[in-house]
Structure 1
Amino acid sequence: MIRREAGMTAPGRRSSTFTRLLRHGFTDASAAERLLDSPELAPVRNDPVLLEALGATADPDLALLGLVRLLEAQPSPTARRELLDTLIAAKPLRDRLLGVLGASAALGDHLARHSGDWQALVTYEPRDLHPGVEEFERGLAGADDPVSLRVAYRRCLLSIAARDVCGTTGVADTAAELADLATATLRAALRLARAAAPQDDALCRLAVIAMGKCGGHELNYVSDVDVIFVGESTDGADEDKSLRAATRLASHMMRICSETTVEGSIWPVDANLRPEGRNGPLVRTLSSHVAYYQRWAKTWEFQALLKARPVAGDPALGAEYIAALNPMVWQAAERENFVGDVQKMRRRVVANIPAAEVERELKLGPGGLRDVEFAVQLLQLVHGRTDTSLRSGSTLEALKALAAGGYVGRADAVQLDEAYRFLRSMEHRIQLFRLRRTHLVPEDEADLRRIGRSLGLRSDPVAELTREWKRHTGVVRRLHEKLFYRPLLDAVAQLAPGEVRLSAEAARERLVALGYADPAAALRHLEALASGVTRKAAIQRTLLPVLLGWFADSADPDAGLLNFRKVSDALGKTPWYLRLLRDEGAAAENLARVLSAGRLAPDLLMRAPEAVALLGGGGGAGGGADGGGGLEPRGRAQLEQEILAAVGRAESAEQGVTAARGVRRRELFRTAAADIVGSYGTEAQPVEADQGALVDRVGGAVSDLTAATLAGTLRAVVRDGWGDGEDALPVRFAIIGMGRFGGHELGYGSDADVVFVHEPRDGVDEREAAQAANRVVAEMRRLLQVPSSDPPLLIDADLRPEGRNGPMVRTLKSYEAYYRRWSLVWEAQALLRAEPVAGDAELGRRFVALVDPLRYPSGGLGDDAVREIRRLKARMESERLPRGADPKLHTKLGPGGLSDVEWTVQLLQMRHGAEGGAGGPLSGLRTTRTRQALAAAREGGLVTEEEASILDEAWVLATRVRNAVMLVRGRAGDTFPTEPRELAAVGRYLGYGPGHVGDMLDAYRRTARRARSVVEELFYGAS
């Protein structure tokens, strides 16, 4: 007789059982048929009750396999029959046992090894529904060694999982039961450790304090159990001996729980939340704990203590520990930079997640469980000082109390509660399968199907699970930071009668914790922005919660909020303004960063609020008057074209230059905003990794803008005095950029160093030509210095021959004669950065050709010239450094500052630039730009890779500091500010968070010191 394959009644035809199995949720009906045909299931093979019960589980295939294995493991046919009879007769047992087998392969393995433990699921009495520590202690009482403790632990876990998967207990009760089982297990482990070392037990009192999820009564199925140990000596015992005895007991207790045996492990006991972490002693006295938290503890350590709870050992000592440390927990929000510290800790956690896992991280990823927990803990610490109802270690209980007190909007609290419960349920089901510690959502479809079915999603489990998961994480992402700010708006807007509101005092508390120095003024601004029933107020209420968070992330939240109010007052009735902020996520965050980063960018924006349109993606929301292109700097040709067109439309030179200055103002704002966004980073754009690129972009943009402004001013003057067209002016006229201008390295507050050159046109008298050229220069300087609200543009011509004593304008022949006969070495050095920037291009090129032999002398520099350059440098250092300034923090003249690097590079250019003919190995030295010249010197072997890197890093850092000072203070400066908020704002621009300005100053000194060492060798030590 030939046996047919299971599931086939005839070739190609499926059996009715096969079809029924598929209908009941089996995915491998053929394998299920074979299992149903097994001898173990013969008595109930055709019982519809069994098939119905299997189909109700998360994974019917897994449940059936587990049941067969459990039946096979029974010690006798009688025991097997007893199990089957009870299973069919008792629905509670059937649901529990099959539910566990269908959700957890690990517990199925346990039942196959310990075939009698299924009887732990038989009882179904009221007291069994929510067992506490005492019930679990009774369940573990017979365990007299680590192996039997593991077996008893799994037996207890079996009953928790059964109630969980059957829906008898909710996720919060399940987490609490798991914490109570952990408590009972710690007590049992400590009992075993004491029994193994009674002499140690006699010497000490030891208390075990649960932390984290165990302390908060919200433990996972598989998790590290965080603890802290407190030890004291017994009467008459030596303290050192007592602490050593307590340490041995604590270590043994940890090993009992953590070590792997033939029955596996229970869970790791983690004591790294103790003072000093893994570097600190495992056990401390109570006084030692108190001393540490009073003097050394960080903000996150007080946050961790929110969940501290005595669970094992000496109960009186545990109570003393909580009583001593609890007051410190509720004072943590008064610490400087409290909110910033907590938020930085959260960002650090997210940053450490591997990029490939971020979106699957249920616990730590954006919108995950930790976001809810951090937000709730932050609010507890701020308001729990005065409201003891908030002092719960449970996230959900604390969230409920926060809503009841008006600290969180009720609707927000409900959404977060639902999201947290769903995400925790997912986490439980993921861990329950293999009893492994993981928070990653699996990618395998079978795993997702099992999890979805276990949560009651039966129509399309995978799709429904994914949809619900993403929906809840989206809710958390949207709310976890707004949670902190929205009640502030509700407190001032008062639109929903009957809603419990944040009190005025609580609102002030929260604003102070966020870093607002003047909470009363902040509340006034919020009221002005958010009150009322207008469309504008409604949109502001939507925007402000997240804007307040971005302001709080800055060094000056008060300024950010005040500036936002000013911009909104100016533009609130403009239809595109609020639409831009609402609909373009980047625009709102960019605006918040810009408004709270210092004075310069907000001042520029206040003079032309419509420039806010630049902060959006395309930059065109303001109706096309913004120059377009978002925050991307515009090139010189574009700028010059726009400015010349504006000048051409103007009716006078004054109006033309006013228009040019308006374009300059807008473009300075664009550059400053891009710099701030690149330095601070936003959700859409991370912090610019290449700091040198940021510096080059700012220097190039400001230099191009200055050149275009001078070109426009020159056109306005010529047109007003002589008529349209270049030929109208009786001279050819060129402006040569010098210093940082010629080097494309201008900062926000830099003057424009220039020299002017002219040449009479054919048939024009030289005296007439000179008069015309001087008139052009005088008029340009006058027009650019007319008082206005725009940033000044000062022309500095002091680098011309003979300095201030020499004529303002010279002919090309005059320059040639002067340089041939009278030029000093410093003048040749100054010409290294000479570059035409405006006016007659051909005349500019001829000027460069004239000075090239001077700045790149044939044969290099003589010894006398080198000594003169060194002497001038030393004299400048000694004479120009401001009195009282700290030389080590002076970015221009201090050791390792800009002057050190630039003079070193310029000395190399003058000594070797003549070797840099076209295509030569040192041709790159012939540049006006410091960083390019340094790179060329490295490539040409004049400096080592390390030397070039050190000098470049110092130059970039010093330049960034100068840019930061201008952005923050609104006026130029060569050293760090002394006012704390300004100094903190400079630090934030440079990437240093709250409380780390000391690190910033140390880093600057260290970088400058290394650079000075290289300068000593290359500049002063070279022969």
Structure 2
Amino acid sequence: MTGPGRRSSTFTRLLRHGFTAPAAAERLLDGAELAPVRDDPVLLEALGATADPDLALGSLVRLLEAQPDPTARRELLDTLTAAKPLRDRLLGVLGASAALGDHLARHAGDWQALVTYEPRDLHPGVEEFERGLAGAHDPVALRVAYRRCLLSIAARDVCGTIAVAETAAELADLATATLRAALRIAGAAAPDDTRLCRLAVIAMGKCGGHELNYVSDVDVIFVAEPADGADEGKALRAATRLASHLMRICSETTVEGSIWPVDANLRPEGRNGPLVRTLSSHVAYYQRWAKTWEFQALLKARPVAGDAGLGQDYVAALNPMVWQAAERENFVADVQKMRRRVVENIPAAEVERELKLGPGGLRDVEFAVQLLQLVHGRADASLRSGTTLDALRALAAGGYVGRTDAVQLDEAYRFLRSMEHRIQLHRLRRTHLVPEDDADLRRLGRSLGLRTDPAADLVREWKRHTGVVRRLHEKLFYRPLLDAVAQLGPTEARLSPEAARERLVALGYADPASALRHLEALASGVTRKAAIQRTLLPVLLGWFADSADPDAGLLNFRKVSDALGKTPWYLRLLRDEGAAAENLARVLSAGRLAPDLLLRAPEAVALLGDGDGGGLEPRRRSHLEQEVLAAVGRAGSSEQAVAAARGVRRRELFRTAAADIVGSYGTEEQPAEADQGALVDLVGGAVSDLTAAALAGTLRAVVDAGWGETLPTRFAVIAMGRFGGHELGYGSDADVLFVHEPRDGVDEHEAGQAAGRVVAEMRRLLQIPSADPPLLIDADLRPEGKTGPLVRTLTSYAAYYRRWSLVWEAQALLRAEPVAGDEGLGRRFVELVDPLRYPASGLDEDAVREIRRLKARMEVERLPRGADPKLHTKLGPGGLSDVEWTVQLLQMQHGAQVPGLRTTRTRAALAAAREAGLLTEEDAAVLDEAWVLATRVRNAVMLVRGRAGDTFPSDPRELAAVGRYLGYGEGHVGDMLDAYRRTGRRARGVVERLFYGT
């Protein structure tokens, strides 16, 4: 029957069986090739069970068309309909792999490889695959035989006869057999070479670990020795020819395609090293030069082809080095840095689709397992497996990984590997990207048994499993530590004290005994507090370990927790607000200043969250002044008033320091700030505003205590130096001038006495010993310096500047800006000094020479004895002084004509000079970079050491912490210092031209 009724019925059945193009499928079913079986319901049902029924049907028709005669076609159809195992295997492959469908269409008899279905056929090993490849005596024949063997693996895979781990192991065994066959072919082509050398092929990576993909580079290392009596040089050249030929046989593309690339880049020195080395040369390299990742790679080394004895000798010689790798300095940091580098190299548009390398992907599981193997495999030989899932089971059995975590990780890894296999199987192309096309997602989902809504269900399961991996990745390292110290779980499944110490040392903790005591204090017991800590600590410990001083981070966390542990909101904040816990970990492990500020007022932890604490955005000066003045107004004495102002300053300094640290370190969700200048501006502006608010509060306290509402004289504080430039660092003194102006009817002497008392009292109050960070005011930039009066009238300033002012004083006034007191008086002071700092006629040659002379003298006289001038942030080449004096010279020369130069801020003036064409874009960029870097170093030193400094710390851990703040990982402080010198050298070249005119 071929009428409309039959077509309608078939069309409906096709849709029900999962066909997406039923009209096309109906035409194929009505074609001559399938005429004998078109009404067989078993065939339609079997097609509907495949990953892609349309693909399976189309490939089946092509296979039938390719049969050499009607008899062969009939034999295939009869076998297909009579033998369910063959039907499931053949149609399963055709529905999952267009590439293998193409192979069968080219080699019409290869379907016979799927006929046998006996127990010995279920799990073939290397020997069986070698027999399957034995007849291949040239590269083309080897490719055909390889695909035929691959066909049988794929058939067992898609039918569920073998699990994903067994599929990967069979693929590795097939690769082993193929390498042996390729070496046999290469040897037959050059028998003289085979007589000169003994050559062993060592499998690495997934092939070495018995967990190969369908399409993957096969990583190898070649080792050779001279045959008896042969010259070593000739033997190595012969071995290199054999190895090169082997690689070409497997890698080159012919009419039959390629097998897979053979990649030897894991060898010593990578691409730059010789392809083949002797065993002694390998050993010498790994003893002297190898990096941590190279030992990590050797964990999977396995001899697979060539001289078996030499291959075993290679593994035996290098194996001990692998299990000593965890003792290397910066071991964990190196491993984690390699992982980060891999992720950073993924194109941004592909990160979320990366099944292997993306966050929560296969590589995260593999790196975590390998790291734990290397840490604990020194003492426990049961962990020394090159296969990820076997190693994970061993880690769980030994208590090195929590059993529940191991089960979840195992399930996630199997699912992700199954996805990877099926993605690659479709076209036999090397890819780890999850497809975006709905049809591809549907086929992929169906191949994994998802049938209700295959595409949507697949994406949901994929995201669920990557989420599990991301959640467990850090937890794996730390949860067993907590179980050990908290005495949770059965004794035999817990880390031993020695294993716990080993792990902490490997993760960067210098004092593991103290770390374990802190963990025990935080996580032991059955209280709700301890339970929450056990939830938080696995992640926090990972963040601490990512810093230059994990021990300090953990100790500070314990101190904060001891102070706030009974406060209901504290642990809830860390548990429930995503950013708070990570921000706290970064702050507590970044140095001394921020933790010291926090420990004096632990409730400031609330600032680190996303909610009512206000976050890490610095507050505006007007808001700060309002709060400080309100606190001063409530105080009972001037001492209490200043203490209140100090309290606001302490909290806001912590907010600024925390914002700076988090911006510098970055978080898991938000990478580190790319614009370092923005962080410098944030700190400089925030600390300067905070200092201005504190001075305004101190001034109000003094006036209220001594005179009530109104002083007999108007009084203003003028910021100078970095304070006036909105560029204060955490440890900077506040340079100021004091100016007053008697009120109408007030005697000048009386007004002067009142102003003097105000200054003296402000200085006294600010110098009262306190646990808070000091706020020192420095008035040495006043007329006549230390010998002159601390405060003058505006008229006195005018008289002095008119008669006695020197060029350096006019230069110092470039940063003068009113910050507290009488606003009108502050404005008039600025009007007074503007003609001095921006002279209408610019500077004459004598003035320029004087400025240059003063700077040169300062560089010689003020540089501390023994300091490395190239690393001095203030006086060294390209340091703050170089950039600021260059900018200030331009301001004094051109400020009267260029309004943009009339600013107290260095970077703003530099930008204005560039826009006015006074210096080139490139010169401006070089100076700006140097100034920002020098300022960042000064801020870093204060954050790390808790005290100010103009050069890099000498203590290695402090120096590493400065490096971490500046974006340099462990082991890279040398790179940081080199970069600083290089930046300073470039800036000094610009200064020589622009400032000194040379």
C-alpha contact (below 8 Å) 1:307/1:394 kept by paired residues: yes
Q: Quick one: which amino acid aligns to residue 332 of structure 2?
A: V
* Identical pairs, percent: 88
Deviations 1:140-175 (A, max 9, x none): 000011111011000000100111111110000000
Task: Determine the C-alpha separation between the residues in 1 that align with 2:969 and 2:786.
Answer: 45
Tell me what 2:370 maps to: 377
C-alpha contact (below 8 Å) 1:834/1:928 kept by paired residues: yes
Tell me what 1:968 maps to: 944
Deviations 1:914-963 (A, max 9, x none): 22xxxxxx211111111111112222222222221111111111110000
SS of the residue corresponding to residue 480 of structure 2 reads helix
Q: Quick one: which amino acid aligns to residue 747 of structure 1?
A: G
Indicate which of 917, 924, 928 corresponds to 1:941.
917
The alpha carbon displacement at 1:890 in A equals: 0.8
Tell me what 1:180 maps to: 173
Q: Quick one: which amino acid aligns to residue 297 of structure 1?
A: A
**How does 1:110-509 map onto structure 2 within 5 Å?**
110-497=103-490, 500-509=493-502
C-alpha contact (below 8 Å) 1:367/1:476 kept by paired residues: yes
Indicate which of 799, 803, 806 corresponds to 2:781.
799
Task: Determine the C-alpha separation between the residues in 1 that align with 2:3 and 2:430.
Answer: 39
Tell me what 2:625 maps to: 640
1:856 aligned onto 2:852? no
Q: Quick one: which amino acid aligns to residue 662 of structure 2?
A: V
SS of the residue corresponding to residue 782 of structure 1 reads helix
SS of the residue corresponding to residue 616 of structure 2 reads coil
Tell me what 1:1014 maps to: 990
1:750 aligned onto 2:732? yes
The alpha carbon displacement at 1:964 in A equals: 0.2
Deviations 1:874-900 (A, max 9, x none): 221111111111111111111221111
The alpha carbon displacement at 1:219 in A equals: 0.3
1:655 aligned onto 2:651? no
Deviations 1:319-340 (A, max 9, x none): 1111111111111111111111
Deviations 1:494-539 (A, max 9, x none): 1334560011111100000111000000000000111111111111
Tell me what 1:983 maps to: 959
1:713 aligned onto 2:713? no
Task: Determine the C-alpha separation between the residues in 1 that align with 2:763 and 2:343.
Answer: 54
Indicate which of 672, 678, 683 corresponds to 1:698.
683
C-alpha contact (below 8 Å) 1:594/1:602 kept by paired residues: yes
Task: Determine the C-alpha separation between the residues in 1 that align with 2:724 and 2:569.
Answer: 40
Name the Cα RMSD after superposition. 1.2
Deviations 1:689-714 (A, max 9, x none): 11111111110110010001100110
Task: Determine the C-alpha separation between the residues in 2 that align with 1:281 and 1:275.
Answer: 8
| Higher mean C-alpha deviation, range 21-30 or range 162-171 | 21-30
Task: Determine the C-alpha separation between the residues in 2 that align with 1:947 and 1:462.
Answer: 55
Task: Determine the C-alpha separation between the residues in 2 that align with 1:206 and 1:497.
Answer: 50
C-alpha contact (below 8 Å) 1:7/1:33 kept by paired residues: no
When normalised by structure 1's length, the TM-score is 0.96
SS of the residue corresponding to residue 790 of structure 1 reads coil
C-alpha contact (below 8 Å) 1:232/1:239 kept by paired residues: yes
Deviations 1:351-398 (A, max 9, x none): 111122111111111111111001000100101111110000000000
Task: Determine the C-alpha separation between the residues in 1 that align with 2:555 and 2:839.
Answer: 56
Q: Quick one: which amino acid aligns to residue 629 of structure 1?
A: G
The alpha carbon displacement at 1:235 in A equals: 2.1
SS of the residue corresponding to residue 157 of structure 1 reads helix
Indicate which of 571, 581, 584 corresponds to 1:578.
571
**How does 1:663-812 map onto structure 2 within 5 Å?**
663-724=648-709, 728-812=710-794
Task: Determine the C-alpha separation between the residues in 1 that align with 2:836 and 2:68.
Answer: 103
Task: Determine the C-alpha separation between the residues in 2 that align with 1:107 and 1:770.
Answer: 98
Task: Determine the C-alpha separation between the residues in 2 that align with 1:127 and 1:281.
Answer: 42
1:59 aligned onto 2:45? no
The alpha carbon displacement at 1:347 in A equals: 1.2
Task: Determine the C-alpha separation between the residues in 1 that align with 2:30 and 2:922.
Answer: 76
Task: Determine the C-alpha separation between the residues in 2 that align with 1:645 and 1:686.
Answer: 38
Task: Determine the C-alpha separation between the residues in 1 that align with 2:446 and 2:934.
Answer: 60
1:993 aligned onto 2:978? no
Tell me what 1:45 maps to: 38
SS of the residue corresponding to residue 260 of structure 1 reads coil
When normalised by structure 2's length, the TM-score is 0.99
Task: Determine the C-alpha separation between the residues in 1 that align with 2:826 and 2:338.
Answer: 56
The alpha carbon displacement at 1:579 in A equals: 1.0
**How does 1:547-566 map onto structure 2 within 5 Å?**
547-566=540-559
Task: Determine the C-alpha separation between the residues in 2 that align with 1:418 and 1:912.
Answer: 70
Deviations 1:813-866 (A, max 9, x none): 111111111112211111111111110011011111111111122322222222
Tell me what 2:903 maps to: 927
Q: Quick one: which amino acid aligns to residue 699 of structure 1?
A: G
Gaps of 5+ in 2: none
Deviations 1:185-227 (A, max 9, x none): 0110111111111122122111111111000000000001111
Deviations 1:529-570 (A, max 9, x none): 111111111111111001000000000000000000011111
SS of the residue corresponding to residue 223 of structure 2 reads strand
C-alpha contact (below 8 Å) 1:7/1:18 kept by paired residues: no
Indicate which of 594, 604, 614 corresponds to 2:597.
604
Give the direction of change, closer, same or farther, for the CA distance of 1:654–1:192 in structure 2 (3 Å limit). same
The alpha carbon displacement at 1:684 in A equals: 2.6
Indicate which of 784, 799, 803 corresponds to 1:821.
803
Task: Determine the C-alpha separation between the residues in 2 that align with 1:788 and 1:645.
Answer: 21
Deviations 1:242-293 (A, max 9, x none): 2111111111111110111111111111111111111111111111111111
C-alpha contact (below 8 Å) 1:718/1:776 kept by paired residues: yes
C-alpha contact (below 8 Å) 1:7/1:17 kept by paired residues: no
Task: Determine the C-alpha separation between the residues in 2 that align with 1:697 and 1:880.
Answer: 29
SS of the residue corresponding to residue 791 of structure 1 reads coil
Tell me what 1:101 maps to: 94
Task: Determine the C-alpha separation between the residues in 2 that align with 1:668 and 1:361.
Answer: 41
Q: Quick one: which amino acid aligns to residue 29 of structure 1?
A: P
Tell me what 2:524 maps to: 531
Tell me what 1:623 maps to: none
Task: Determine the C-alpha separation between the residues in 1 that align with 2:776 and 2:536.
Answer: 40
Q: Quick one: which amino acid aligns to residue 961 of structure 2?
A: A
SS of the residue corresponding to residue 896 of structure 2 reads helix
Give the number of aligned pairs: 998
Task: Determine the C-alpha separation between the residues in 2 that align with 1:499 and 1:49.
Answer: 54
SS of the residue corresponding to residue 312 of structure 1 reads strand
Gaps of 5+ in 1: 621-627, 916-921
Q: Quick one: which amino acid aligns to residue 998 of structure 1?
A: G
The alpha carbon displacement at 1:437 in A equals: 0.7
Tell me what 2:22 maps to: 29
